[in-house]
Structure formats: C-alpha cells, structure tokens
Structure 1
C-alpha cells in the first residue's frame, strides 16, 4: 500500500451494520440526499481508477442489485462521459433495481453506457466481454451480503479470477464479509479497493488483506457526523507509523538495568533453535539483559550465535526458580515441547507470578494441563493454538477473528495476540486492535519465536502488556517488510527478520534526532 494512502486511512474500524447505520443517519437525520452520496462514491472510485491506470483501456463493470450496483452504474456513466470504452454486465436483473440504484441505472443508460443482462448474453458472450476487457470493476455485492455468494455472482467472481485482469472493488470485494474478513465461498481478489463512509474491519483481517489489494478510503463528507450517529468502532487499525512512537527513548545516562531483564525459557530436545531465535530477537529489540534457559546441549550453539545472551542449560524445572527471581519478564513456550521438561518449565513460570509472554507449546500445554487466567500475561497463539485453547475447530476461529481473540481474552485474561494476516490484539476493556498489513514471507517456522522475543523485550521496557504487544507486532512486521526488500518472500528466514530489527529502530532514532536538532543557520 502506498505510504500516502496508508497515512490517510482512519484508525477506527467498524462492522458492516455500523457503517450502514452511519449511512442511514447521514441520509435520514442530516438530510443528505442518498443519490448525491452515490454519485460522490462513484466519482471517487473513478478518480482513484484513472490515477492508478491513466489509460485503462476497455473497462468492464459488474453490477449487482443494491447500492453497490448503483455505484457501478454511475462509475460507468462517468467513464463514458470521459470518453472511455466501458460496458456493464447487469449481474442482477435490472427489474430488481429500486430507489437510488434504479436511478443510477437510468443515468448510465442516458449517458450511452452499453449494459447487457448476465442471464441474456450466454457463455460465449460473457467470454468475449471478459477477454476484451483490460480492467474489471466489481460492484456486485455490498456490505449487506453474508455467506457464500450465490449464482450468478459466484460465476462472475470465478471469471474475474480466470481473466487475470486488474480488478477495482467498489466498497469491498464481493464475497468478503465486511465485518469479519471471512470468505465463505468465492471472493474477488482486487488490486484496488475504494471503500466509503467508514472503514470496515473485515478489510484488514482474515481474507481481507489478500482480497482488497491497495485500500483507499473516501468519507464522502460524512466524517463530521460519525460521532453523532452513535456507532462504536469494532476495532482500531494500527501500523508501525502509529505504534513506533511507543518505542522508548534512551537517555544519555541509560544503563542495561533500565531496559529489563528478559528470561527466555525455550528449546527442548529437537527444538533448540526456537529458544535461540527468541533470545536473539529480544536482544535486538532493546532488552537490557537476556537470559536463555534451555537444554544443556544448546548452550554452545546459543553462545556461538548470540554471545551477548546469558545461557543456562537446565535438566529439570527445579533449576529454574533462581533464574526467574532475577528476571523482569519471562518468555516461555518456543520449542519447549509437551513432554515432562516443558511441563515442568511452564509450571515454574506460572507459579512465579512474573509478567510473561506465552507462546507455542506453552499455549498447547495450557489447553490440556496448565490453564491459568492472569491479567499480566500475553498470549500469542496462531489459529491452531487458539482453537485448542477454546476447544473448537480452526474454522470457528477464522470465521470471526476479532470475536475469537476476545473470547480468548475473556477465558484466559491478559492480552491476546491472534496471529495471521491482519493480526488481532485484544486486551482488557480496550477496543481490539488489528495490525494493518501482512507479509507472506513470514509463513515459515520460527517467525513466531522471533515475535515472542520482540514482545518480551518491549514488555520489559514499557511495562505495559498492551503497548508491548501492539508495538512488538508492528515492529515484527516492519522488520519483515524491510528484510523482504532484499530477500523476497520465498527465501525469507526468521534470522533475516531479527537482522532487520535494528535498521527499523535506527530509522526511528534518526527521525527523533532530526526533529530535535535545529537546522543550520537557525
């Protein structure tokens, strides 16, 4: 997503019902004409379209029956008035159009737009339209639709995928749940999504990041009335630009005791790398001291990889309390396994009462043996671990990720980070956060170990579990994005992300210095 558009996006994310209520309030209570709003929406999509594709060639607009379809007809009319080659497919019969959507269809007809009925053109005719199109506009299904798209919408979505042409989605990609980001069936994969009135939470989590492409927002002058509508955001969008301010400044008089002693308890036999990655990540993320408690055979490899980490080889859980006493924050779980060694370690960590980050097998053990509720811990499950914690199927987690994260928070307390595209963070009575962005290169073993180390380090420095989690998640993604510039996605490794963390943090420090240093001659 271009930086300029990223920074222009609001933070508040709404449910589909809330956005519809804001729309209703603006029209019914504030007297804004609904057709004027529809015209403004269509004009905004057209502007964004020609900005992205100055010479779009032949445009094919797929129109549904509701206001989303009305937006499409008006966009086609605008394209026609500007001399562009544009056609519309009425995916829903025009006889079903009513109100503003019907006015929009009439406007398109008056302006000379070629409109063909989906059920009257036949397969060969559809083939010809999709083949000849250079760009497709999806204006089929709006925010009021849930569940899998029915025919003929499902067929049109499949045709968009097989056509391999750029796609612009009007308000949201058809087939995507605007509230949850779930996709129960076929879903449009857009290159550009122009959304209106309020940002929908589903655009930023679940299937949203993949389905939407670049996201642009147009308030259509309704922002002044959002508060008056009484609608409460479902979640808040966060990114590194917003969260980097939480990174603590380092005074000239700083010493290692100011930035936390992090104890990483990780690495049973066969999983020694997990602890090493978490400990090194904690060091790179600014922890004052890092101790790694692992199996004795991993002491030498850990010291060779990261000699700044203090490494202790432990055979039994009874050896851990002395290390726990010296720690400010504990990271427990990466590679501890589910056997006796891991069970002993987790029991000691929980019994200590220390602030902690629990990940990986610590969560699996919690699901089966050591369930605990605590306001100070941070849990970082992926969907599979979340499903085990809640004793449900992964599909139930993914169907509503915000709700799943909140359920975990209610059951286990503390702060919960649910991994995946559009990471969700729930904590206390705070509005849930959704991390804006994703990186497919992070889909490899060990990335979660790096995340737990980064969050642990920030917990030790900030002392606030929610701030440590939000800042850590955004730093983790920013470092992965930086590393991907040279490594790409397929070859990205957890160590590459660790190596990129200092570069991301250094940029923040440079910006702070430039703000504090007077310009020459002033």
Structure 2
C-alpha cells in the first residue's frame, strides 16, 4: 500500500505511533540529528508564538520529562534570547531527563534560562507564576502519553485552564490522546497548537477539535521522511476547499432529470419541521426534484415554506411504494418517530432497495431490528444514535470515534458518517475521511435534518460515489454554518440560516457567474 492516497501529503492524518516511527526514520535513516530536529521544532513554535502574540513579554513555560519537555526548554531559550521575561518550570524533575531532552535542558540553562522545579514551589509561589504571566507554553505531555494525566500534571493542567491565560500547546495539548482525540482526564485548553512532522488525527476529531484552538502544522522539512518511512495515514483531513472540486460540473443544456429525484420520508405528528428542513436543504443542494412524504397535517406548512417541493400526506406505509419507484435516493428518518407510522415507512424504504440516507429515528428503529448490510446507503448517526446501533454507551463511542465509525460500517455496510466535532466518514476503505472543523452554533435541533437533505441531494447527483457525497455534504454543511454564524453569531444560529447560506457556498464550484450565452 502506498504511504498516502486520496489527498495532499499535508492532509494525511497519522496515529501517534506512526508519527513517532516517522520521526525515528528521519533521524535513523535520513541522518538528521535528533537534537537539531528538536531545535527546529522549538524555532517553529517560537516563530508562531511571536506571530500570534507579538506584544507578549512574559512567558510561563511548563516542561515535562520527555522530548515534548525538551521542545519547551528550547522555546524558553529562544524567548530569553529575544529579550522576553521567562519563568520556566520543570513539572517533572529535571534529573529525570535523558537523551535529547537532557541536551535541551542543558542548552536552556547555558543560554540563561532559570529552570525552577515545580516541587520547590509552594502554593504562593505557584500562584504568583500565573499572576505574572501573559502567556503559557504547554510542553508537558507529548504523544506517548495515554490515559488521564497523573499528578502533578493533572493539577497544573487544571490551574492553567482556570487562569484564563492563552496557551500555546507544543505538538498537542497535554492530556489529549493524539490518536483518538479523546481526553480521559484533565486536558489543556489551548488557544493555538503547533504540531510537527505529521498531523496527528486526534487533533481534528472529538475533544481535539475543541481543545486545540487553531492548529498549525510544521513539517520541519520531513516530507520525504513521511513518504520514505512507509507509514500509512489512518485518516484524511477534508475541508470544503479541498473537496468542492469533486462536484460534477453542470452542462449548459442541463435539465432537472440529470440531477436526481430525492424523496424525503419524514415528519410524524409533532415533528413536521424536520422533514421540511431536510427537503428544503435538498432543494438548495442541487437535486433535480424533491418530494416529501409526511403526515397529512404537515402538507400545508411544507408547501408554504418550500413550494418547489412536491409534498404528499401519507396515512399508511402502503401508500409509499409508488413514490419510492420514482425516487433516485431516499432520505428517511428526520422526525420519523418510532410509532407504527414510522416503522411502516422505514420498512418500505428498506424493502425498496433504493439508495438511501438513514438519519435520526430511522437509525433508532434500525438499532432494534435485524437487517442485512446494504452497500447503497449512508448512515448519519450522532454519538447517541451510534451507541444505540452498537449497543454501547456514548462514552464508548467518543473514546475512539474512528473505531466506532469503522465498526458501524462493518456491521451495516455502505457509508457511515459519525457526526460531531471532526465528523468521521467511514466507507470500508483503510483510510477514513475527517471533515475538519467545528461550529458551536450547530448545537441545536434541526441541524442534522439539514445535513441529511444536503447529503441526499449530493448522493442523487453522484449516485456512484456515496462516500464522496457524504464527505462533501459534511464539508459544505459546516462551511455554510460558519458563514451564517459570521453574521448571526453562534447562539442565534438556526437551521434555516444554514440552508440560506448553502447557495453562496455552492456557487464557488460553478465556472460561470452569469447565464451562458452571448449578449
């Protein structure tokens, strides 16, 4: 297998073990001195520090016992040489240092850094450190650490987070699992993370998406080492800018029959809005035709909101097959409910064999029934729904989101899109996709309904590429939300704001800005 496929090298996401092996390859096989590599990391981190906080004068640098601590000592040395006031604390005793980390400590001391031992500081002394600092550099726990941080690290991390001071994390925030993105105990809340050699997947999903702040990747000129090491990524980072080219161009003689017919099956009593949101999102995402099968009492509201949708009020599942025959892709689940009505609808959708996107209550119903794997389906669970599908707890999902998505895909087939910060898309390939980024404004009801409609429309237009449809859907959904929140803010963001932002985002993929033809 080649070291990386499916994206640029800078988009490859590796496990912590793989990055360590790449590091060892660069040092052992390419002849790069390990201490020089550490100095390169420190130079890059300090350059980013000054660029991001140009007016900072007083640093608090917290160093651990491994190479991550060595990076910290060298950052402190560079800060002193640039005239900054530095308090450098050995959170782990300096006499435990060895190898390149020991060399880094020796260089820092030789360059005028006064290293203080945490154990020698009382409560008053520790408090004064944080009171006098303007910025914290976190170089305590590196990629080799897993599980909850032990003392004294846990207490120091908690104090950092309570201080309100901005934190620059060197390589990754202490307490974060670099492979899974989980944090089993205290974890640094960084404002900026500068990471090296290879992107660690845990920085982009789960809690990693919440605690890393901005993430800056520094290759340290080790690109050839990444390729030469033969290490394979476990994920590829996907953002709107990197996937929008996947959308097929529209011919000048295009007509609605070329872009698929999406049937949304949704909206039991009391949940009519969910189906309307999904259907309108499908219209705004380029589907040629969109139909909505819902409860009869929701028909008027749906037509008033979105007259371009063909709305049908159904009383019983036996009425659905005729609509299914005409559909290219079925979106089933938003507001479907778990009553007999919803069960009938899902049964008909599954028996039809039509390509489908299953969301919300369709997944909850699916978790309680035996069904065969289907290749022509996309499942879009949030962690709670994923836990029901796997008969486990939500923390079991969040402790390793990639593993959970892969397990769901192996059990149910097709494509699985596990929602959340750093959405994971698993399609059975060795490398999963991660839709990079998060938006706290999306934490409100109805956002998932919009996503299901977007994906359904894209699937109808890319019927042979469901994984691409899911990945593009996640990316454009997030991009639209971010643009909408730039105007609306996070707290006031609602699903229709995201729908309204979709056309402008999709417009970026179009080659022309006006009607085709001569004036």
- Category of TM-score, reference length = shorter chain: over 0.9
Partners of 1:44 and 1:285 in 2: CA distance: 41
SS of the residue 2:499 aligns to: helix
2 CA distance for matches of 1:372 and 1:298?
A: 32
Q: Deviations over 1:144-200 (max 9, x none)?
A: 000000111111111111111111000000000000000000000111100001000
Report SS of the residue matched to 1:508: coil
Local SS of the residue matching 1:186: coil
**Paired residue for 1:196?**
196
Return the offset for 1:221.
Answer: 1.3
How far off its partner does 1:491 sit?
Answer: 0.6
Aligned pairs for 1:422-433 (under 5 A) are 422-433=422-433
* Structure 1 residues 77 and 8: alpha-carbon distance in aligned structure 2, compared to 1, 3 A threshold: farther
Task: Show CA shifts across 1:417-439 (max 9, x none).
Answer: 00000000000225100111000
Distance 1:478 1:396 in 2: 29
Alpha-carbon distance, 1:8 to partner = 9.8
TM-score scaled by structure 2?
0.96
Residue 357 of structure 1 is matched in structure 2 by 357
Kept in 2, the 8 Å contact 1:9–1:216? The answer is no
Structure 2 partner of 1:470: 471
Could you tell me whether the CA contact under 8 Å between 1:264 and 1:331 is conserved in 2?
A: yes
Larger mean Cα displacement after TM superposition, 42-51 or 222-231? 222-231
Give the Cα separation in 2 of the matches to 1:164 and 1:114. 25
2:267 maps to which residue?
267
Q: In the TM superposition, what is the alpha-carbon distance from 1:30 to its structure 2 partner?
A: 1.7
Map 1:35-434; keep pairs closer than 5 Å.
Answer: 35-434=35-434
Distance in 1 (CA, whole Å) between partners of 2:169 and 2:309 is 49
SS of structure 1 residue aligned to 2:274: helix
Aligned-pair CA distance for 1:370: 4.8
Aligned partners of 1:15 and 1:96: how far apart in 2?
A: 27
Aligned CA distance change for structure 1 residues 405 and 8 (closer, same or farther; 3 Å): closer
Q: Deviations over 1:211-243 (max 9, x none)?
A: 111111111111112122121101000000011
Q: What secondary structure, in the 3-state scheme, does the structure 2 residue paired with 1:434 have?
A: strand
Structure-2 separation of matches of 1:83 and 1:429: 51
Match of 2:491 in 1: 490
Tell me the distance in 2 between the aligned counterparts of 1:502 and 1:351: 34
How far 1:507 moved relative to its partner? Answer: 2.9
Determine helix, strand or coil for the equivalent of 1:513.
coil
Displacement of 1:84 in angstroms is: 1.1
| Structure 2 partner of 1:3 | none
Inter-partner Cα distance in structure 2 for 1:372 and 1:78: 60
RMSD (Å), alpha carbons:
1.3
CA distance in 2: counterparts of 1:86 and 1:435, whole angstroms: 38
Shift of 1:85: 0.9
Gaps in structure 1 of 5+ consecutive residues: 1-6, 518-522
- C-alpha separation in 2, matches of 1:163 and 1:428: 44
Check 1:442–1:467 CA distance in 2 against 1; reply closer, same or farther (3 A cut).
same
Tell me if structure 1 keeps the 8 A contact 2:406–2:428: no
- The 8 Å contact of residues 234 and 430 in structure 2, kept in 1 or not, is answered as no
Contact 2:357 2:380 in 1 (8 A): yes
Cα distance in structure 2, aligned partners of 1:58 and 1:112: 15
1:264 aligns to what SS in structure 2? strand
Q: 2:159 & 2:371 partners in 1: Cα distance?
A: 48
Q: Measure the CA separation in 1 of the matches of 2:429 and 2:195.
A: 28
- Contact 2:181–2:203 (8 Å) recurs in 1: yes
Q: After superposition, give the CA deviation of every residue in 1:109-142 in whole Å (9 maximum; x if it has no partner).
A: 1111121100111111010011100000000000
Structure 1, residues 18-72: CA drift from partner, whole Å, max 9, x if none?
0000011111122211000000000000000001111212001000000000000
Tell me the residue number matched to 1:505: 506
Q: Do the aligned partners of 1:347 and 1:370 also contact (CA within 8 Å) in 2?
A: no
Structure 1 residue runs of 4 or more that deviate by more than 6 Å after TM superposition: none
Q: Is 156-165 or 449-458 further displaced after alignment?
A: 156-165
Match of 1:445 in 2: 445
Return the alpha-carbon distance in structure 1 between the equivalents of residues 145 and 345 of structure 2.
48
SS at match of 1:474: helix
- Deviation readout 1:360-391 (Å, 9 max, x if unpaired): 00000110025331011000000000000000
Local SS of the residue matching 1:102: helix
> 1:134 & 1:9 partners in 2: Cα distance?
36
What are the ranges of 5 or more consecutive residues in structure 2 without an aligned counterpart?
1-6
Counterparts of 2:116 and 2:125, CA distance in 1: 10
Of stretches 290-299 and 242-251 in structure 1, the one that deviates more from structure 2 is 242-251
| Alpha-carbon displacement from aligned partner over 1:461-492 (angstroms, at most 9, x marks no partner) | 11111011000110100110111011100010
Residue matched to 1:520? none
Q: How does 1:6-17 map to 2 (within 5 A)?
A: 10-17=10-17
Task: Give 2:3's aligned residue.
Answer: none
C-alpha separation in 1, matches of 2:195 and 2:473: 29
Say if 1:366 and 1:372, in contact at 8 Å, map to a contact too.
Answer: no
> Secondary structure of the residue that 2:190 maps to in structure 1?
coil
What do the CA deviations read for 1:236-286 (whole angstroms, capped 9, x no partner)? 000000111122222110111010000000001111000000000000000
Matched, 1:24 2:24: yes
* Cα distance in 1 for residues equivalent to 2:508 and 2:97: 53
The answer to whether the 8 Å contact 1:381/1:418 transfers is yes
**Are 1:9 and 1:217, in contact at CA under 8 Å, matched by a contact in 2?**
no
